[in-house]
Amino acid sequence: MIAYKLISNSIPTLITSDTGDKALQLMSQYYVRHLPIVNNDQLLGLVSEDDILSQNQEEAIGSYSLSGRRPFVYNNEHIYEIMRKMANESLSSIPVVDREERFLGMITLEHLLSYYAESFSFSESGSIFVLKTPRQDYSLSEIAQIVESENVAILSSFIHGIDQANNAEITIKTNAQDAQRIQAALERYDYTVEASYQEEVLVEQLQERFDMLMTYLDV
């Protein structure tokens, strides 16, 4: 999934003559903490709720002393890059531009999380495993071969990073309901299974947490 397919056309833009009060009202109405300042399709910057609250809200945002940040993603950037930029900048929404840096629209964190929750095989039931292995021994093809030898398929996988001991933490989701059988197969090949979950037990808890997150984003 790339950026232009995730654009939300409902998020309004600001112009430099808009007041801080107007921007805050729009942020509250659309459940975001960041809005773009746009002039004739050119992205001038991104104003945050904190920017406005630290200054005179009755004045035009064009008179504000902003942080100088101008984060954006190009329309053909992948969802992983979008997520990285939003996380690094702590953004509730991020502008999308074309290669001439013309403003195309916004991607909101709520829309991104909703898409993410509905994709990457999350909707298909199965079992989840969290593995730990020395980084130099990590081989997704070997893990897949072990799992597939049990007539099970890997639906998705993620590497969470490298710890101080240079171990990689890998999360895999399979289409198997019998987590114990897959765990035993992985352990026979010296993979440390940090945790395993049968998804039917987790679905209700995860749905509750996701609903709580969506409620929080609406505040």
Average per-residue pLDDT for the chain? 85
Q: pLDDT tens-digit profile of 26-79?
A: 999 999 999 999 999 999 989 999 889 988 999 999 888 776 568 999 999 998
What class does CATH assign to 127-206? alpha beta
Summarize the confidence of residues 177-184 as an average pLDDT: 86
User: What are the tokens at 99?
Assistant: 């290669």
- For domain 3-117, give its CATH number from 3.20.20.140, 3.10.580.10, 3.40.50.1370, 1.10.150.20: 3.10.580.10
Query: What integer pLDDT is reported at residue 68 of this predicted model?
Result: 59
> How much is the pLDDT for 2?
87
pTM, rounded to two decimals: 0.67
Same fold, 3-117 and 127-206: no
* Percent composition of the chain: helix, strand, coil (DSSP 3-state, to 5): 40, 30, 30
Domain boundaries, the chain: 3-117, 127-206
Task: Give 178 or 72, the one with higher predicted confidence.
Answer: 72
The first and second tokens of residue 106, run together, are 């916004």
Residue 89 CA to residue 74 CA, distance in Å, equals 16
